[in-house]
Structures are given as structure tokens and as C-alpha cells.
Amino acid sequence: MIAGAGCLAAMVAAQVASGVSADPVRLTGPVVGLMAAGAACFVASRRGPRRAAGAAGAVAAIGYAAEWAGVRTGVPFGRYTYTPVLRPQVGGVPVAVAVAWAGMGAASHAVAATLVPAGRTCTRMAVGAAALTAWDLFLDPQMLRQDLWRWADGGAYRGVPVSNYAGWLGVSALLMGVLESIVGWERDAPGSLVALYGVMAGMETLGFAAVFDPPDRLVALAGGSAMGLFAVPAAVAAFRRRPARSPQRAGRAAWRRGWRR
């Protein structure tokens, strides 16, 4: 948990630096790497390092496979290509992209597990897929303005086609199913992963609303509203499910109340 919190704090610092940097692309890799490392640490705190590594590796591999197929066939997202800007790349796909699927995939799955009871697997997959796809309302416009990838025919939402989001929902649902089988949260999904999702939602909203030059308040509203639909209720649910205080702490609190009387 301490390592994960450190990664999350470092990610926030790198994200802030990226937002005001003249060359934000050079910080994209560190931001994504810290996000994914923090998510893996939070999973490991409850399920151990082996299952955390297995979950991260499986999700990254599926995400990479979807991107590899996408740049060659247009399935499942639509026709697009990556530019040489974001490196390193393997098979025409930046490594950071696969890592990003793993980091935000874990956070989105924790959000779904917090909102949907265990046993309702299909509902969890649908909620988690929608939560992860909501993030792409920020991600695609941001990466397009940095010329990290290009759509062949453009699209209605800041140059992004609707097919992209249909593909995201499909791939994300597959990832949620994999995470459900490996991690299998019941009522113990880490609130830290929910916090990671919320931090990303807040920082992206602020970035598009006021930090990026030029700002884009349409993207800030669309992405912030979509991610907020999941981030806010998940944060409230996670707060209410905090472990009860230990008997020692409860006893000290009762003693202080009695002393005040």
C-alpha cells in the first residue's frame, strides 16, 4: 500500500508537470508507468504479488493484441495508425498503450466491484467496461492533440469515430472478465484503486478545462461527467465500507467521550 501510494503521488506530480510542459509527450511514459505500477501494488496488497503480476500481464497482453490487430485491420476500433512520436514501440504499438490498459483496467474493475455485488459477473463486466471506456473520452482527444495517433477518416467527437468507443466497450468487457477471474474481488476491492480512478478523472477534467493550451471545455464536460458517474458513487461506497475501528481505538474514543462529559 505504501509503495502504491508513492506511485500514485509520483504519477500526480508527473501529470502536473506534463500539463505545463512544452514537451508533454516525454512524460507520457512515466505517467502511464507510475499509474500501472501503483495499480499493481494496490492489487498485490490484497491478493499478493503473483496474482497482481498475472492480472497486469494478462490485461496488458490483451490490450496490446487488440491494438496490434486494430492498426492492421481496423478491428475493433476503426482505421487508425500510431505515429513514431511515442516510443518504444513493438509491432507498431507503443508499449505505454498496453501498460495503460493494465493500469486503468484494474482501477475500473475495482470501481465495478465496489458498485456491483459479487456473483453478478455480467453486470460487473458491463459496469467496468463502461467505466474504462469513459476514460477514453479524455484519452483519445488528448493523444490526438499530441499527434500520438491518427484516425484515417476522423470522427464526430473531436475527430474520434463512434466505432472507437464500440471497440473500447468490447475489449474492456473482455478485460473485466479476465480480471474478475484472476482477482475476484468480493467486498474487499481496495479503495486505493477507486481513488486512482477518481484522481485520473479529476486531473483530466481540470487539465482540459483550464490547464491545456488551448483548453477544451467540451471534452472536460464529456469526460468529467462520464467518469464522474462511476467515480463519485464508487468513492462513497468505498468510504462506507471502510474496516471498522479496532477495539483499542474504539475504546480510546469512548474513554475520551466519557472524560469530556
Residue range 147-169: average pLDDT? 96
To the question of pTM greater than 0.85 for the whole model, the response is yes
Query: Residue 92 above 80 pLDDT?
Result: yes
How high is the mean pLDDT of the chain?
92
Give the pLDDT confidence of 94-125 residue by residue, as tens digits. 999 999 999 999 999 999 999 999 989 999 99
Cβ atoms within 10 Å of 228's Cβ, excluding its own: 16
| pLDDT value at residue 23 | 83
- What would the grid cell of residue 239 be? 468510504
Q: How far is CA 66 from each of CA 25, 30, 126, 178, 228, rounded to the nearest angstrom?
A: 23, 23, 18, 14, 26
The C-alpha atoms of residue 234 and residue 111 are separated, in whole angstroms, by 6
What percentage of the chain has pLDDT greater than the value 70?
A: 93
Grid coordinates representing 220 are 472536460
C-alpha cell recorded at residue 119 = 456473483
Please report which confidence band the pLDDT of residue 18 belongs to, taking 50, 70 and 90 as the band edges.
confident
Look at residue 221 and tell me whether its pLDDT is greater than 90.
yes
pLDDT on residue 258: 46
Secondary element (H or E) of residue 94: strand 93-94
Q: Is the pLDDT of residue 90 over 60?
A: yes
Which pLDDT tens digit goes with each residue over 139-155?
999 999 999 999 999 99
List pLDDT tens digits, range 226-261. Answer: 999 999 999 999 999 876 444 444 444 443 444 444
From the list 247, 219, 190, 258, the residue with the least C-alpha distance to 5 is: 190
